[in-house]
Amino acid sequence: MSEIRLLNEADVRSMLDIDAMIDALADGFIALSEGKVVAPPRAGVEVPHGVLLSMPGWVPGKSISVKLVAAFHDNAKYGLPGHQALICLFDSETGTPLSVMDGTGITALRTAGGAAVATRLLAREDSKTMAIIGAGVQGRSHLQVVTRVRNIEEIRIASLIPGDAERLAAEDPRATGYSTYEEAVRGADIVCLCTSSSTPVIELGWLSPGTHVTSVGYAPPGGELAREIAENSRLYVESAMAFADPPAGCAELKGMPASAAAELGEGLLGSKPGRQSAEELTVYKAMGHAMEDLVAAQIVYDLATAAGAGQLFKFR
**85 near 114, Cβ under 8 Å?**
no
Identity of the amino acid at 112: A
What pLDDT was estimated at residue 73?
A: 80
Note the pTM of the prediction, 2 decimals.
Answer: 0.93
114 found inside a domain: no
What pLDDT was estimated at residue 85?
A: 94
Q: Can you tell me the distance from the alpha carbon of 128 to that of 279, in angstroms, rounded to the nearest whole number?
A: 15
- Looking at the structure, tell me whether residues 76 and 151 fall in a common domain: no
What pLDDT was estimated at residue 80?
A: 86
What pLDDT was estimated at residue 79?
A: 86
What pLDDT was estimated at residue 315?
A: 73
- Looking at the structure, tell me whether residues 149 and 10 fall in a common domain: no
pLDDT tens, N- to C-terminus, the chain (316 residues): 479 999 999 999 999 999 999 999 999 999 999 999 999 988 889 999 889 999 999 999 999 999 999 988 888 888 888 889 999 999 999 999 999 999 999 999 999 999 999 999 999 999 999 999 999 999 999 999 999 999 999 999 999 999 999 999 999 999 999 999 999 999 999 999 999 899 999 999 999 999 999 999 988 889 999 999 999 999 999 999 999 988 888 999 999 999 999 999 999 999 999 999 999 999 999 998 999 999 999 999 999 999 999 999 987 7
What pLDDT was estimated at residue 236?
A: 98
184 found inside a domain: yes
Alpha-carbon distances of 207 from 72, 125, 127, rounded to whole Å: 31, 17, 14
- Looking at the structure, tell me whether residues 270 and 214 fall in a common domain: yes
What pLDDT was estimated at residue 74?
A: 85
- Looking at the structure, tell me whether residues 137 and 239 fall in a common domain: yes
What pLDDT was estimated at residue 112?
A: 97
118 found inside a domain: no
What pLDDT was estimated at residue 130?
A: 98
Domain residues for the domain of 73 are: 3-106+291-314
120 found inside a domain: no
Cβ count near 81 (within 10 Å): 18
**62 near 89, Cβ under 8 Å?**
no
- Looking at the structure, tell me whether residues 163 and 263 fall in a common domain: yes
- Looking at the structure, tell me whether residues 29 and 56 fall in a common domain: yes
What pLDDT was estimated at residue 86?
A: 97
54 found inside a domain: yes
Q: Can you tell me the distance from the alpha carbon of 70 to that of 58, in angstroms, rounded to the nearest whole number?
A: 21
- Looking at the structure, tell me whether residues 12 and 96 fall in a common domain: yes
- Looking at the structure, tell me whether residues 72 and 170 fall in a common domain: no
CATH of residue 231's domain is 3.40.50.720
Q: Which of 141, 142, 143, 177 is nearest to 159 (CA)?
A: 177
- Looking at the structure, tell me whether residues 210 and 96 fall in a common domain: no
- Looking at the structure, tell me whether residues 186 and 275 fall in a common domain: yes
22 found inside a domain: yes
Q: Can you tell me the distance from the alpha carbon of 57 to that of 54, in angstroms, rounded to the nearest whole number?
A: 10
CATH of residue 13's domain is 3.30.1780.10
**230 near 255, Cβ under 8 Å?**
no
119 found inside a domain: no
Contacts of 206 (CB under 8 A, 6+ apart): 181, 182, 185, 186
- Looking at the structure, tell me whether residues 282 and 173 fall in a common domain: yes
What pLDDT was estimated at residue 57?
A: 96
62 found inside a domain: yes
Q: Can you tell me the distance from the alpha carbon of 153 to that of 44, in angstroms, rounded to the nearest whole number?
A: 40
Domain count, the chain: 2
- Looking at the structure, tell me whether residues 274 and 297 fall in a common domain: no
Q: Strands 3-7 and 311-314, how do they pair?
A: antiparallel
What pLDDT was estimated at residue 143?
A: 98
